[in-house]
Amino acid sequence: MTITAYSDEFYWLSSRYGLYMTEKQLAAKYTSGLMYSIKKHVLLHYMFSLDESHNLALETEEMI
């Protein structure tokens, strides 16, 4: 699954089920569902928002 597809599904599910979380909590939940090869790179950085996590995951996917 690509990052774009994963992100679309994550955003859809979080809006559908009304996940009321802080930006840091959403970023952590988003990161926890990434493929291991991408997750290990993203976890090396401290993410403050969902957008930062998403952008870093996209960059990592391109590198891989």
Q: What is the mean pLDDT of each run of 10 residues along the chain (64 residues)?
A: 93 84 88 92 86 92 89
Q: What is the DSSP string of 17-61?
A: TT----HHHHHHHHHHTS-HHHHHHHTTS---SHHHHHHHHHHHH
- pLDDT of 32 reads 93
**Spatial separation of the C-alpha atoms in residues 50 and 25, rounded to whole Å:** 9
Q: Which residue has the tokens 């957008």?
A: 51
